[in-house]
Structure 1
């Protein structure tokens, strides 16, 4: 059996809270799982701001308990200013965050229960800082596992994509207001109320903080490990999923790092693969233990004898906003970039993709600003309703190029790329590119996509507006994908000038004219060499005891008002951020509930775009209850964005703090 066993709870000691002292007097709060009766063992760190006491408890117990049963001391540490830790949190990925992590790792390595070897892992924020801390080279850090993360904070994070402003910038900023508005737990900190009010008073207005940096400046370069790949000197296991937003970091890490490294990409959304949705979930915790055993215990587990890239190749499935299980298989590539993958080029002809050189012709497109409503969520989390739907409606608002029905299947693994020569009638314009698998019945399944603010066509350090009427050559790499297009299906390349509600509309309603004679689509086609790999079924440690207090509800709606000529997209979640329901952690008696409604509206004029988010977060137990309510909104004109927010914090029914923000931010080249 691969990995460590799933032991009974009696085999693991859990320390609910321990304090890690830092040199400046700050204390960080940690939760620890250790194998009972063991001497010094290697340690594994997960270091995030999402509250080890209650925020991630349901995920932490079965994961870190598994590692402890396999012979590791696992620590889940609240970052400075979050959860039960001291201090204040002023932004993402600050130098202070990294400096604290270096002290935490050194402290762990020096404890009598640790043998001096430390690993670091995390998903999302924790995956980001695992890479960032590895680049600081703490001596005790022997290996990392980074899941659903990125190496490039401007080009590939939740704020901007292709130089376009993601609407998730406001969504995530609003969530951070609620998350960071939560107090320490009184059962851990008698001074919880004082610390809570201190945090509320120092709360930054997160979405405006990020919106102020609209190009790739030093703010984004900090923490982007792609600035210096050679800074990372320890082994890296990089993990992603086709349903996640951060997949493209995985092939880049594989190509540019020089340390021992391996990659794994499944069909999953933004979740750990042992809980993988869409399925199949796999024995990811066992894979991690094999990685830790190799690099922290010095055992040859064979991980470096396995393919450099293990990836899931998806088969055709009828497009649907909900997919709980993906059809396909895992394959292995011995190296990455793979010598078994070669570009297959299709030329653009008017309305067609052709095998061979491009053909002359010029076609124009100006899509309604609401084009893209079938695109699903930017970052999937594996819940119903979030996936791209049938693309036919968006295809009908786009400039499309189709192949003839394929005589043979095509297996794609990697980043498709498009080369275009185009001209715009306005200086500001967006280009959205979708690659679709079109079935004989006409249904259109999105395989991959990209968006580009055309002012960023030559890079994001110094954006340059287009010169109206002047031809510009553009090369766009689409999101990495793994997909098998069946014989008899068509490939479709769809180009549009909007991608709502994924990204904020360009200032101008531009018309783009594409020169077909200069256009190419290059697909990374995998030779059918077999190479299938397999994984065991998922294993976990003991789950945290929980009780569902109220069933959740989720809704996603798109409405087109034919009289007002506006489109509205509404996402609602009750009980949990993704509609999972209100619940209680029984062993600590803490109850949690989170409701959120997001409304995004745009009309024919791209300057009509508006978005509003309302949320309510409640937590507590008998004798102690708090509630956070927030409202945030954003709109824009030709020169600036207006972004507003209000936060209200309640202890019981008493309002204890109100914060309000109103900021106008110059628009730049968006």
Structure 2
């Protein structure tokens, strides 16, 4: 996870703001239980005489170092346009008191309500507050909105979800998301182990650091104890109480992001005012995101805030409900600097301009009509299927995206259409319906959707998977009866995609998808039965006249990036290794995120992350994931380092977890602890 700004990106750096800016680098927000949360506040210099609305970003990623660069381009921009822009470290992170027990706890929301009350009472505040956040901050913006604090008037949620079980880094379609479950837990395991800054909190930093090291748990243990959609996951999933979000919501994501689907659900389900924006971007703010085109998103934020926090008619609510980028067809690349396409606009979601187009499976083909007689297609297990699928949630790093799917298609069963007679545009969720049986009690199905060029290249444009024991419910899974036929629906990720005339539509079906899904306990053979029930449905959108004026965004604009010195440059490698003698396949993902020094504070910080997923041909129980982190932070003579090592593997009945944390002050090891846990498999 790299929090950085690329100097090469095309954007206007704005220095002449309507209001002079004052930065309060170390502010404390008191909690009712005696704890303090650390905040940085950017204000118009005359805000005490001329109070302003406030914008809150509330996340755990350390405002003084890890997000300081990204904060510098955004929060001063809002302050310069007449807002108090406030960046708070969640309790237990950064310089805030305490330690973090898990993500999205009720305590996190309760603290946010106290922060809102504190803002409301400040002399510089008009009492009107908005929340903005990407990823974690997008999640808790929705969660806090549902708590209905009277000061919170509107939110902007980016790259987030309304459903923590179905649509996050832990589980997908009822499967353990092996690519991210341990990786994200290991990330927070390391992040939470970093110390407070002695120049901010004083001599107590060491005692507080040792407490964090001892008491902050590896989150993966709790996540893996809840393998079905129980109350643990329902907490913080605002889809459970969506009617409680009555304030306006602006939901934003990108086609490369892992959280695009939530935009469409929120627009459909929210009871109040809402807008949606989906661009070509990875997991990042749209004014600095890749691939291009980036947009003037901060200007769009101001239009939103000016409307809802200042009562000005900016025209933003007169515009279409959903603006999205339809991507042109492109041959597969693991990195795109740009995704050509066009903006389109829909006044509602679901859109009346989108209709389903069905294809039925027949003898390896996608046909426009169902086959009359039942044909059986055997779908065997190939454990190494999935190594070229790309990362679940790209951050815009090189190598994140899926490679040419011809590398994968020989390890699955594919079905291909005839060349398209006309160009089509897709917007929304493809769905795959299957009449199938399994030769094992525990099994899943993975489906990939591709755009196949006339020259043979196969570009992954969407995918989905379903744990077949969850076919009726994620809350109450049921074992399969071997050989019994079931009708199931697999919802694929939303897409906005053009497929040109002469190209083909291709799908691949498999009971394996490593490392996206943790393998079933035994090798699985699925049987697909052709007929009316086994089909692919594509959301085809008809172009509209209002598309011609859609997406009329300004060029990207930011405040100046804070001064920083590059001590060590970033480096990324991503290797798939096949050892044919042993039949072992390995994906090694190495990311040196570099090291930087911030002259403003003197802080110097760096990070290195290595992740390895391996499996042997024919042996699902050989699957193993290892994640390693090294984080450094210091200033002058004060230098610290944390190292973490996380391992996950399984047998037929049990998951095994080992997490180790080592901490150094200077060259001296001051802490080492290992957590070892066994957790029963529950229908996965």
Q: How does 1:184-263 map to 2 (within 5 A)?
A: 184-190=196-202, 191-263=204-276
Correspondence for 1:565 among 565, 571, 583: 583
Correspondence for 1:270 among 279, 283, 295: 283
1:31 maps onto 2:40 in alignment: yes
Instruction: Report the aligned-residue RMSD.
Output: 1.4
Partner of 1:97: 108
- Return the alpha-carbon distance in structure 1 between the equivalents of residues 679 and 268 of structure 2: 37
Q: How does 1:437-586 map to 2 (within 5 A)?
A: 437-517=451-531, 518-530=533-545, 531-532=547-548, 533=550, 534-574=552-592, 576=593, 581-586=594-599
Correspondence for 2:91 among 76, 80, 86: 80
- Return the alpha-carbon distance in structure 1 between the equivalents of residues 14 and 45 of structure 2: 14
Partner of 1:435: 449
Partner of 1:21: 30
Contact kept in structure 2, 1:84 and 1:185, CA below 8 Å? yes
Greater than 4 Å deviation, 4+ residue runs = 3-6
1:649 maps onto 2:663 in alignment: yes
Residues 61-114 of structure 1: per-residue CA shift (max 9 Å, x gap): 111111111110000001111100112211111111101000100110110001
1:364 Cα offset (Å)? 0.7
Partner of 2:646: 632
Correspondence for 1:410 among 421, 424, 431: 424
- Return the alpha-carbon distance in structure 1 between the equivalents of residues 17 and 302 of structure 2: 17
Partner of 1:595: 608
- Return the alpha-carbon distance in structure 1 between the equivalents of residues 221 and 591 of structure 2: 24
Correspondence for 1:340 among 326, 343, 353: 353
| SS of match in other structure, 1:187 | helix
Partner of 1:301: 314
Residues 235-281 of structure 1: per-residue CA shift (max 9 Å, x gap): 00000111011111000000000111000001111111111111111
Comparing 499-508 with 469-478, which one deviates more in the overlay? 499-508
Q: In structure 2, do the counterparts of structure 1 residues 65 and 158 end up closer, same or farther at CA, with 3 Å as the change threshold? A: same
Correspondence for 1:114 among 98, 101, 125: 125
Count of residues in Structure 1 that have an aligned counterpart in Structure 2: 663
Q: In structure 2, do the counterparts of structure 1 residues 359 and 412 end up closer, same or farther at CA, with 3 Å as the change threshold? A: farther
Residues 283-328 of structure 1: per-residue CA shift (max 9 Å, x gap): 1111111110110001111111111110010111110111121111
Q: How does 1:602-641 map to 2 (within 5 A)?
A: 602-603=615-616, 604-641=618-655
1:359 Cα offset (Å)? 4.7
- Return the alpha-carbon distance in structure 2 between the equivalents of residues 662 and 156 of structure 1: 28
Contact kept in structure 2, 1:110 and 1:116, CA below 8 Å? yes
Correspondence for 1:175 among 169, 187, 190: 187
**Structure 2: which 5+ runs fail to align?**
1-11
Contact kept in structure 1, 2:18 and 2:81, CA below 8 Å? no
| SS of match in other structure, 2:557 | coil
- Return the alpha-carbon distance in structure 2 between the equivalents of residues 661 and 161 of structure 1: 26
Q: TM-score, normalised by structure 2?
A: 0.95
| SS of match in other structure, 2:265 | helix
**Structure 1: which 5+ runs fail to align?**
none
1:405 Cα offset (Å)? 0.3
1:137 maps onto 2:155 in alignment: no
Contact kept in structure 2, 1:632 and 1:644, CA below 8 Å? yes
- Return the alpha-carbon distance in structure 2 between the equivalents of residues 291 and 367 of structure 1: 50
- Return the alpha-carbon distance in structure 2 between the equivalents of residues 271 and 358 of structure 1: 45
Contact kept in structure 1, 2:641 and 2:666, CA below 8 Å? yes
Contact kept in structure 1, 2:648 and 2:656, CA below 8 Å? yes
| SS of match in other structure, 1:609 | strand
